[in-house]
Amino acid sequence: MLTSEWTDGLHCALEAAQVFLGGVAIDVVPLGSGHIHRTYKISSLGGSFLLQQFNTRVFDRPEQVMANIMKVHRHLYYEKGMQPVLTPVGLSSGEAFWTDTSGQLWRMFEFIEGGYVPEVVQTPQQAYLIGRAFGAFAEALADFDPTQLHEVIPGFHDSLARWHAFQQVLAKDPLGRAASAGEETDALQRQCHLFKTIAALGLPQRVTHNDAKAGNVLLRTDGSDFLAVVDWDTIMPGYVLADFGDLVRSIVSPVAEDDPRIEQVQVRLHFFEALCQGFLSEAHRIITPNEHRHLVLGAQWITIEQAMRFLLDYLAGDMYYAAQYEEHNLNRARNQLALAEAIQRHAEEMQHIAMAAPC
Ligand code: GN1
Ligand code: MG
C-alpha cells in the first residue's frame, strides 16, 4: 500500500512535471536508489524525462550545481561530441529550477533511453565497461579548466577536515550511540594516517565527478557498451584518485555497501583487473605516472573516507544518509571498513594489476 508521503510525492512530482513540460506529462514513476534527491521518470507526449526533487540540505548552493552542470554539458556535447550525454531541461523562462508552494526545488533532465544500472556489478565485463565510461569521462574533461567550476560542497574530499568533524561529533555523542560504535571508531583511528599521505602526494587538480560509483553509469541494456555517466552534481575540482577509488569501492565487493553480512565483503580481483583495463584504456592519455602509481592507495583512501562519513552520520543521528533502520549507517560503516581491510590485504596484488594495465 502507498504511504501518504509517497502519494504526495507522486502528486507533487506530476505538478512539477507539468510546469516544466507545459502540461503534456502523462505519467510519473519513482526511480532509482540515490541517497540524496528524490527521482522520478516522467512520460509525456514529447518523450521521457527525469525529474528530481532537489536536496537543498546537502547542496545548499543549487544555482552553482546547475551552473557547473551546464558548463560541463556544453563542453562534452559541443566540444567533444559526446552522445548520449546528460542534458538539463530548463523552464520556459530559462531558469533551471522550479520552486513549489512548499519551497521545494525541482529540476529536470532528458531521459536517456536504452540503459540500465546494475545494483551490484555482476560480471567483469560490466566492471570493464563502467571503468571505460569513467576513463572516457576523465579524458574528455582533462582540457577543461577546473577553476571554471564552483566548489559546490566545499572540502568534499578533504578527509582531514572530515576527520576533525568526526572527532567533534564523537566527543559530543548527541544520541549516545558512540558506545555501540567503539570497534569501528578504533578501526578508523588506525587508518586515518592515510588522509595525510594523500594530501602530501602533490596530485594535480582536475575536473572530477566525485561520485564515481558503479551506479552512476548507464550500461546498454544489451550489455554491449556503456551509454553515459550520470549524476553530475558533485562535478568540481578534485583528484582522479577519488574517482578511481569510488569505482573500486563500488565494483570489487560482491555485496552492496549497506549489506550487513560483512563476512561476504571481499575483493574480487578479476573484477578489479577488468576495471583497471577499462579505465586505463581511456584514461591512459591523461594520467600521470604519480597518479598511476597511487591508484590502489586512492581506493583505500576513498573506502575509509566513506566509512568515516557513514559512521559520522550514525553518531550524528542519520542527518545525511537516509536510514531505513536504526543501525543502517553503522552497518554501512562496518561494511566499508571490512572492504578497506580487504583492499589492504590484497594491496600488493592490486598494485601489480594496476601497474600492468596499459598506461
Ligand atoms: C551519496 O546519493 P548518491 O548515492 O548519488 C553521496 C556520495 C557517496 C554515496 C554513497 C553528494 O551519493 O558522496 O559516496 O552517497 N553524495 C553526496 O553511496 O554526498
Ligand atoms: Mg550522487
Q: What is the pLDDT of residues 183-224, one digit of tens each?
A: 999 999 999 999 999 999 999 999 999 999 999 999 999 999
Burial 109-142 (b: 16+ CB within 10 A, else e): bebbeebeebeebeebebbbbbbbbbbbbbbbbe
List CB-based neighbours of ion ligand 2 within 5 Å.
Answer: 211, 231
For residue 43, CA distances in Å to 16, 111, 174, 213, 249 come to 13, 9, 44, 27, 34
Over 80: is that where the pLDDT of 156 sits? yes
Given ligand 1 and candidates 55, 57, 68, 213, which is best to mutate, with the most ligand atoms within 8 Å of its CB?
A: 213
User: What phi and psi values does residue 202 have, to the nearest 5 degrees?
Assistant: 65, 40
Of 9, 309, 277, nearest in space to 157 by CA: 309
Task: Name the H helices within 178-235.
Answer: 182-191, 193-199
Determine the Cα–Cα distance for residues 277 and 282; give it in Å rounded to an integer. 9
Pocket test for ligand 1, best of 64, 210, 211 (most atoms within 8 A of CB): 211
CA gyration radius for the chain?
A: 20
267, 346 contact by CB (below 8 A): yes
The answer to whether the beta carbons of residues 294 and 204 sit under 8 Å apart is no
Grid coordinates standing for 234?
Answer: 558533485
Q: How far is the CA of 26 from the centre of ligand 1 (A)?
A: 30
Cα separation, 214 vs 217, whole angstroms:
6
Tell me the CA distances in angstroms from 11 to 2, 4, 42, 197, 212, one per residue in order. Answer: 12, 10, 12, 49, 32
| For the CA of 215, the nearest ligand | 1
d(CA 199, CA 108): 36
Distance from Cα 349 to the centre of ligand 2, integer Å: 30
Q: Are 243 and 275 in contact (CB under 8 A)?
A: no
Give percent above pLDDT 90 in the chain.
94
Residue 199: predicted pLDDT: 93
Q: What is the pTM of this model?
A: 0.95
* Domains recognised in the chain with CATH numbers: 4-113 (3.30.200.20), 124-356 (3.90.1200.10)
Taking each helix axis as running N to C, give the angle between helix 328-345 and helix 295-316, from 0 to 180 degrees, rounded to the nearest 10. 160
Over 90: is that where the pLDDT of 358 sits? no
Phi, psi of 114 (to 5 degrees): 85, 15
What is the per-residue DSSP string for 75-138? IIIIIT--SS---EE--TTS-S-EE-TTS-EEEEEE--TTEE--SS--SHHHHHHHHHHHHHHH
| pLDDT surpasses 90 at 4 | no
The band of 119, judged by pLDDT with boundaries at 50, 70 and 90, is confident
Atom of ligand 1 nearest to the CA of 213: 14
- Indicate if the pLDDT at residue 44 is higher than 70: yes
Query: How many angstroms separate the alpha carbon of residue 119 from the centre of ligand 2?
Result: 14
102: its cell numbers: 512548499
Angstrom distance (rounded) from CA 51 to CA 314: 29
Percentage of residues in the chain with pLDDT exceeding 70?
A: 97
- Give the 3-state secondary structure of residue 296: helix
pLDDT tier at 35, thresholds 50, 70, 90: confident
Q: Is the CB of 34 within 6 Å of ligand 1?
A: yes
Q: Which of 35, 304, 312, 331 to mutate to test the pocket of ligand 1 (most atoms within 8 A of CB)?
A: 35
Residue pair 229/137 in contact by the 8 Å Cβ criterion: yes
